[in-house]
């Protein structure tokens, strides 16, 4: 493999900022610069994100210097969490401004490379601004990516994309969100004018070859079913200081109030002994309850919560307060689990079992999330059963073992969603649409009969007392053409994604009308 070649000023900026590259960066950059698909598997805090971005940034700045950089989106970065998307945008600003300053000083040229975030939290005015003046790098989530592929303005913006980066890919491969994303990736491939380079980043994955197949799709496999993709696997395990914390009273099948008081007391002591602590819980309800008890012990301004029911403004405020060192503890659900650089966290505490080895590694990895850091974590089992689970997860982590990924096989409801979205955007020839679906790895075994059944259902709708309802596409069986009915695009845009709908009620603070979040 050829050594990586950056513009001298980009290389100079990196050396001044970071010194030498980490192993994932040194091995990943040549593969990415060769233009081939690349999957980088490495522990948390090893610089994977910069490994993916710097090669793209180098190319964009070189184009800017040559005067050929157009106002169009070249790189799409998909991450599973809104908080992760915002964080990546912040971490992109530093390299962008640093390299820009280096080029101004060295070349006397000011090259503007722009990055924007487009998620469910992005205000409507900002979305319109992004559509009018596309950024060179677009950071988004799988659901917003699907919406962009389905809207006219989004499709226009994505047509010039050359690189697709999927971060924390292991978080979606084993669930239905992954199946939905796999179809979106193939829709992007069908939309763009030229080749699309795919880069996957993950901290925890097994088997890694299966993740590579998911990344490249069936068209990226050779005759033997092996992925045509450079796999940079530098392992998933880091040295960690992890231990189990037990209350003085024996654990029962259900936690009593006395035991809870002991847990909160011990938790408060640990938080006091460290500068910043991240407390993970498994439910939003427990996040609020634990926050209230810790506030009583440590002070109202020292602890706050972070979960998906809070408004975007409150979540962002909590992240920023933690980064500024204003909080002693932040109580979070999985909303802060993945690769987020949330400032200098000294300790991670987990209330209850993480339910998986990968989640344990990810969550504890938030502590000392930097090169050479030693993550420190404490597990608090909440019942006898959870004690067994915590012990098993801890033993597996110490032995370097990982959960085995189980990919959902061809979920047909998500297929129906994406067919309606495709047909709403343009007319499709039946066979071409079938080939597009089959090129998504989770749908590699989809039969023509299953595909035709889904088409028939979408074309005919369903029977009610008032006749047939819910037909979303026109299916011309004679000419084998598929196109969307009136209103199909609206249905696709308002009903997309694999995250189940919740009957949520808005919580507003009177009389100022401040939106606090939602209650299920």
Output the CA angle 471-475-476, nearest 5 degrees. 145
Asked if pLDDT for residue 199 goes beyond 80, the answer is yes
Among the listed ranges 116-120, 156-160, 296-300, 312-316, which one has the minimum average pLDDT value? Answer: 312-316
What percentage of the chain reaches a pLDDT higher than 90?
44
Q: Which residue has the tokens 């809870």?
A: 260
Lowest-pLDDT range of 35-39, 90-94, 353-357, 421-425:
90-94
Q: 395-416 in b/e burial notation, b at 16+ Cβ within 10 A? A: ebbeeeebbebebbebbeebbb
Q: Supply the pLDDT for residue 499.
A: 76
Domains of the chain: 8-233 (3.40.50.300), 241-401 (3.40.50.300), 426-494 (no CATH)
509: confidence class by pLDDT, cuts 50, 70, 90: confident
Question: Looking at residues 118-133, what average pLDDT do you find?
Answer: 88
Q: Which of 93-107, 130-144, 432-446 has the lowest mean pLDDT?
A: 93-107
Q: Are 340 and 362 in contact (CB under 8 A)?
A: no
For residue 403, what is the DSSP state?
A: P
Residue, of 315 and 263, whose pLDDT is higher = 263
pLDDT of residue 44: 67
Local confidence band at 510 (pLDDT 50, 70, 90 cut-offs)? confident
From 186-200, 244-258, 265-279, 458-472, the region with the lowest mean pLDDT: 458-472
The predicted pLDDT at position 433 comes to: 95
String of DSSP letters for 218-233: GGGB-TTS-BSSEEEE
CA distances from 214 to 25, 30, 185, 243, 439 (A): 22, 22, 10, 35, 10
pLDDT per position as a tens digit, 486-508: 889 999 988 888 877 666 777 88
Structure tokens at 274: 């460290």
User: Which of 72-81, 181-190, 348-357, 478-487 has the highest average model confidence (pLDDT)?
Assistant: 181-190
How many whole angstroms separate alpha carbon 15 and alpha carbon 22? 12
H or E segment at 379? strand 376-380
3 state DSSP class of 130? helix
Greater confidence (520 vs 40) lies with 40
pLDDT of residue 1: 40
User: Helix %, strand %, coil % for the chain, to 5?
Assistant: 45, 15, 35
Instruction: Look at residue 89 and tell me whether its pLDDT is greater than 80.
Output: no
Backbone angles phi and psi of 449, in degrees to 5:
-65, -45
pLDDT at 297: 92
Over the stretch 138-176, which tens digit does the pLDDT of each residue have? 999 999 999 999 999 999 999 999 999 998 888 888 889
Cis-peptide into 160, omega within 30 deg:
no
DSSP notation for 141-195 = -HHHHHHHHHSHHHHHHHTT--EEEETTTHHHHTSHHHHHHHHHHHHHHHHSSS-
pLDDT surpasses 80 at 385: yes
Q: Residue 24: is its pLDDT beyond 80? A: yes
Give dist(CA 331, CA 285) in Å, integer. 11
Q: Is the pLDDT of residue 404 over 90?
A: no
First-to-last CA distance in the chain? 53
Instruction: For residue 490, give the nearest of 428, 436, 411, 425 by alpha carbon.
Output: 425
SS3 60: helix
**Is residue 435 a contact partner of residue 200, using CB atoms and an 8 Å limit?**
no
Q: How many helices (H) and strands (E) does the chain have?
A: 19, 20
Query: Please, which pLDDT band fits residue 86 given cuts at 50, 70 and 90?
Result: low
Supply the pLDDT for residue 425: 92
Segment 472-499 mean pLDDT: 88
Which tokens go with 373?
């850091």
- What pLDDT is stored for residue 85 in this prediction? 63
pLDDT band at 512 (very low <50, low <70, confident <90, very high): confident
Model confidence at 303, in pLDDT bands (50, 70, 90)? Answer: very high
């Amino acid at each position: 493999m050829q050594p990586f070649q950056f513009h001298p000023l980009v290389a100079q900026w990196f050396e001044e900022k970071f010194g030498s590259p980490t192993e994932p960066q040194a091995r990943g950059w040549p593969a990415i610069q060769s233009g081939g698909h690349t999957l980088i598997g490495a522990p948390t805090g090893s610089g994977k994100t910069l490994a993916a971005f710097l090669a793209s940034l180098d190319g964009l700045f070189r184009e800017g210097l040559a005067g050929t950089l157009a106002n169009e989106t070249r790189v799409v970065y998909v991450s599973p969490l809104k908080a992760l998307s915002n964080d990546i945008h912040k971490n992109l600003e530093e390299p962008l401004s640093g390299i820009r300053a280096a080029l101004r000083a060295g070349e006397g040229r000011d090259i503007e490379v722009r990055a924007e975030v487009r998620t469910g939290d992005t205000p409507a005015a900002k979305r319109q601004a992004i559509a009018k003046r596309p950024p060179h790098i677009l950071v988004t989530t799988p659901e917003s990516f699907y919406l962009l592929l389905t809207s006219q303005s989004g499709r226009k913006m994505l047509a010039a994309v050359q690189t697709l980066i999927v971060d924390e890919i292991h978080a979606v491969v084993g669930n239905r969100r992954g199946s939905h994303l796999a179809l979106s990736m193939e829709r992007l491939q069908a939309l763009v004018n030229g080749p699309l380079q795919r880069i996957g980043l993950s901290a925890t994955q097994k088997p890694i070859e299966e993740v590579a197949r998911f990344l490249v799709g069936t068209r990226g496999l050779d005759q033997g079913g092996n992925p045509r993709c450079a796999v940079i696997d530098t392992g998933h395990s880091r040295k960690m200081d992890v231990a189990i914390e037990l209350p003085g009273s024996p654990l029962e099948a259900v936690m009593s109030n006395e035991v809870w008081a002991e847990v909160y007391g011990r938790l408060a002591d640990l938080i006091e002994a460290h500068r910043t602590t991240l407390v993970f819980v498994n439910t939003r309800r427990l996040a609020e309850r634990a926050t209230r008890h810790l506030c009583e012990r440590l002070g109202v301004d020292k602890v706050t919560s972070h979960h998906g029911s809070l408004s975007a403004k409150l979540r962002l405020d909590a992240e920023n307060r933690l980064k500024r060192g204003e909080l002693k503890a932040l109580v979070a659900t999985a909303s802060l689990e993945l690769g987020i650089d949330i400032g200098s966290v000294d300790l991670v505490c987990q209330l209850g079992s993480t339910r998986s080895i990968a989640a344990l590694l990810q969550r504890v990895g938030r502590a000392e999330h930097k090169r050479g850091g030693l993550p420190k974590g404490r597990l608090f089992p909440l019942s006898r059963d959870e004690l067994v689970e915590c012990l098993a997860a801890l033993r597996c982590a110490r032995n370097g073992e990982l959960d085995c990924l189980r990919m959902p096989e061809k979920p047909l409801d998500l297929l129906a969603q994406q067919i309606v979205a495709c047909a709403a955007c343009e007319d499709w020839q039946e066979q071409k649409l079938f080939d597009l679906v089959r090129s998504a790895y989770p749908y590699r075994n989809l039969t023509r009969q299953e595909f035709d059944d889904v088409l028939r259902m979408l074309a005919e709708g369903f029977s009610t007392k008032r006749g047939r309802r819910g037909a979303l596409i026109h299916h011309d069986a004679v000419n084998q053409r598929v196109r969307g009915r009136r209103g199909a695009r609206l249905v696709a845009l308002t009903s997309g994604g694999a995250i189940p709908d919740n009957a949520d009620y808005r919580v507003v603070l009177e009389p100022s009308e401040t939106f606090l979040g939602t209650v299920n």
